[in-house]
A and B are shown apart, each in its own frame.
Chain A
Amino acid sequence: METHFKIKVKNGKKYFFRFTVNQRFQHILLAILVIVLVLTGMPLKFPQAFWAHQIYSVFGGIRIAPFVHKTAGTMLVLLFVYHLIYLVYTFYQGQVIPLKKKNELSIGKILKTLISHPIVPNLKDIKDILNLLKYLLFLTNKRPEGAVFTWKEKFDYWGPFWGIAIMGSTGLLMWNKELFTKFLPGELINFALIAHSDEALLAALFLFIWHFYNVHFSTSVFPMDTVFITGYLSEKMMVEEHYEYYKEIMTASGYPHEILPPHGVRKPESEHGAVRDNPVKLTDLPRI
């Protein structure tokens, strides 16, 4: 396993480790393939749209674009398989082996670690959503304190996870219809078409509206959050999105006295830029 500094200090600013090179590579490949798939797929879903012919022509029209779509789809399925292997491998390395070493290996224990894995949705996510709504409705000034993975990130992870499973399986089914209908009913292709086409629209809208808003268009990150390239998240975003995890990591890394106040809280003695020089202690903060 690669080892990373949890906090990197560069030009006096702190950056927090989020994603390994492997994960970043998987994400960028995923992004490129999804964009190609959307561009070569949507003209078929909406052939009458004014943009359909133009976009399809860019990918070679009806003779070439379906081939591009299938190639990108195959690569995405392969990436998905790679990711599943990666998941099992990292879980085995990170969770199962330590259990083994402690001689505590049992199916119950494995299930327990699996359920409490930070990427698995849990009760805190529901609480965070409710608290976020309170914050967004101006009922409180306190944003929910996010853990290592927030509910948004879990949505962004499990959404495409389910999406690729649906799109990949139905896509392969429609592509190899002669093979699959040797043992499956032909009407299944109708269902595959509905699922593939409708799930595609959901996925595309989800990614290009919701995900792009969160990582590109939101005023905190515009024009983009560079964490998907560098792997490290800025302190400002860390405070805004992952405050619970931020406090934890700051304490563990030996900076407990430099912990910044939560997002949106006014710094009591703050002159501009004074915060970093005079770190605010949590105990000094006004009670909200």
Chain B
Amino acid sequence: MLTYQTRRSILLLFLLLFGMAFVSAANSESADVGNCLLCHKYPGLSRVDEEGRFRLFYVNEDIFDKSVHTRVKCEDCHTDIKKIPHDTPKKVDCFVQCHIVEPSSEQKFSHKEVAKFLAASVHGEVAKQGNPKKHPEDLPSCKDCHDNPLYRPLSFFKRVRPGISETAMGRCRVCHKKDDFIFRFYNHVTTRLHKIRNPKNIAEVCARCHDDPELVKRHDLSTRAAYSYGETFHGKAAHFLDERIPDCLDCHVKRGESVHQMLSHNDPQSITYKTNKAKICANIECHPKASPKLADYKIHAEFNFEQGTAQYYFKIFFIALTGGVLLPMMGIMFLDVLRRLLPNAGLNRKK
């Protein structure tokens, strides 16, 4: 029989152990060192801001924990928040240096490099010749295309499928002891082996600007890019959520480069330049047997008059043919129904 004190100390020990387990679990799941979730865990946390917009400040820990920024501390991005409760914070600057250490260089991590890429790309604010572009306010910055995406891990075991392979995790555990590390590393690497967004989502991101008729007009673009992509088999398959089909970036980004280095199709350095684009189609993963002529296919055809009269009139011919055949036939059908309803209503009834 245990004494009251002994029982109480065992209970306390258990409570302590449980508490420690919870604390360590919380640490492993997110980097909420500043205890921001104390308030931001409440789904109703919101207000109307100075510009009159309704803003939701709720952070869903479960979802955030599966996102690529889960290991970054809140205050690494929201650098101006020093105390709780805090004032209205500034907008996050993606080029800030954060406290994550990049393992290969052992330097503190920053997205600053991307800014250089972007500046030299078709989306940069200064043209290659050095003169500033018209309407720089239309050009995209980080958050126009990016949000905080979720990991999209792939499992490679007998076949490739979405998700995490427990078998692979087992192999990792042989050398790496910390499950948390394995899990993050696995997620990071396998998410990077393919794209975080499927082709449909990528086309939608580009469409935000490239399908906007005003922006297309203002920047003198030759097509509503995502719309015309949607008219091709590629775009239609993307709409049916095919992951294997090429999206905007597969053709517009040179292999081995990043999305941020995309160039205009008028730039001879660009993969989409008229003398280079055959290489895109004939890529080993796409149409390896294609001749350069295949690249003359107008992938961004809208079949309108401005883009090409031949295709336009060819399209008009078929519309006319369809109307010319169907309308008279439907007229005859309509009259036929009427005649059958009124069989004896003929005007010329000779007895």
Contacts and interface: CB of A to CB of B under 8 A. Distances in A.
B297 A194 contact: no
A136 B339 contact: yes
B279 to A, nearest CB: 14
Interface stretch (B72-80, B207-215, B263-271, B311-319): B311-319
A194 B351 contact: no
A138 B346 contact: yes
B321 A202 contact: yes
A184 B321 CA distance: 26
Contacts of B237: 62
A271 interface: no
Nearest to A199: B318
A186 B242 contact: no
A140 B348 contact: yes
A5 B93 CA distance: 89
Contacts of A48: 239
Given A53-B240, A194-B311, A205-B326, A181 B347 contact: no
Interface in B250-298: 287, 289-291, 293-298
A160 interface: no
A185 B295 CA distance: 9
Given A137-B335, A140-B348, A202 B326 contact: yes
A261 B289 CA distance: 67
A223 interface: no
A178 B330 CA distance: 41
Contacts of A35: none
Nearest to B240: A62
A32 B172 CA distance: 54
User: Which size bracket describes the interface of A in this complex?
Assistant: 35 or more
B233 interface: yes
Question: Binding site of B, secondary structure by majority: helix, strand, loop or mixed?
Answer: helix
Contacts, number: 125
Contact of A138 (B295, B332, B339): B339
Nearest to B232: A193
Given A198-B322, A286-B351, A56 B293 contact: no
A191 B314 contact: yes
A177 interface: yes
Contact of B329 (A137, A201, A210): A210
A101 interface: no
A209 B329 contact: yes
Interface string B329-346: 110110110111011011
B293 A185 contact: yes
B348 to A, nearest CB: 6
B350 interface: yes
Interface residues of B, number: 50
Interface in A165-197: 174, 177-179, 181-182, 184-187, 189-191, 193-195
Contact of B322 (A44, A137, A185, A205): A205
Given A213-B333, A286-B351, A201 B239 contact: no
A138 B232 CA distance: 49
A213 B287 CA distance: 44
Given A62-B241, A194-B314, A194-B315, A177 B290 contact: yes
A132 interface: yes
A19 interface: no
B303 interface: yes
A47 B325 contact: no
Given A139-B348, A178-B291, A182-B291, A190 B311 contact: yes
B349 interface: yes
Contacts of B303: 194
Interface in A22-77: 43-44, 47-48, 52-53, 56, 61-63
A205 B294 CA distance: 32
B322 A136 contact: no
A62 B296 contact: no
Nearest to B339: A136
Contacts of B296: 181, 185-187
Contacts of A202: 318, 321-322, 325-326
Given A52-B240, A182-B293, A187-B296, 13 more contacts: A62-B240, A136-B335, A141-B348, A178-B289, A184-B293, A187-B297, A190-B297, A190-B311, A195-B314, A202-B318, A202-B326, A206-B326, A210-B329
In the A-B complex, the 5 residue pairs with the closest CB atoms = A186-B296, A198-B318, A136-B335, A62-B240, A186-B297
